[in-house]
Amino acid sequence: MLEFLQKNILLVAAAVGSGAMLLWPLLRGAAGGGGASVNTLQATQLMNRENAQVLDVREPAAYAAGHILGAKSLPLAEFEKRAGDFDKYKPKPVILYCDTGNTAPRAVSQLKARGFTNVVNLAGGFRAWLQGGLPVER
């Protein structure tokens, strides 16, 4: 076994690295407290069946260029000072999204810290929404 490891150290390192890259998104989500993510189908179901509120955490220019129908703008840079404006949505499901789904989990954590219990991240973000051919408001 030791001889195999010594002769194939690059192969072993590549296997360990690949495994780590596959596990990283799961570990990052668990450690970051970002919580659950929903795909575009689940998001549209929450919007249609449970009247979920959608919050766009991208910069105002990105929001102005196009956003999910009915989404409210809450840029991550303004999150701390404006999050209280959205406390009225605590009783309902809230979907947060950014451009790719990598930034919004921080906002999910912050809303959960404010007492939101049903808040999720849109997996893949606005790009996934666009790729799904779903409606956009400009």
Which tens digits make up the pLDDT trace of 51-94? Answer: 999 999 999 999 999 999 999 999 998 988 998 899 999 999 99
For the ranges 13-17, 79-83, 94-98, the one whose mean pLDDT is highest: 94-98
Tell me the residue range of the domain where 131 lies: 33-137
pTM to 2 decimal places: 0.75
Kindly state whether residues 16 and 72 are assigned to the same domain. no
Kindly state whether residues 61 and 10 are assigned to the same domain. no
Kindly state whether residues 49 and 99 are assigned to the same domain. yes
Backbone angles phi, psi at 73, to 5 degrees: -90, 125
Kindly state whether residues 22 and 85 are assigned to the same domain. no
Number of domains in the chain: 2
Kindly state whether residues 52 and 7 are assigned to the same domain. no
CB atoms inside a 10 Å sphere around CB 114 = 13
Say whether 56 is catalytic: no
79-137-104 Cα angle (round to 5)? 30
Kindly state whether residues 69 and 121 are assigned to the same domain. yes
Residue for token pair 């929001």: 63
Q: What are the structure tokens assigned to 113, written together?
A: 């810290």
Kindly state whether residues 63 and 115 are assigned to the same domain. yes
CB atoms inside a 10 Å sphere around CB 106 = 17
Kindly state whether residues 21 and 86 are assigned to the same domain. no
Question: Catalytic pick from 98, 119, 122, 128?
Answer: 98
- Residues 66, 136 contacting (CB under 8 angstroms): yes
Position 31 confidence tier, pLDDT thresholds 50, 70, 90: very low
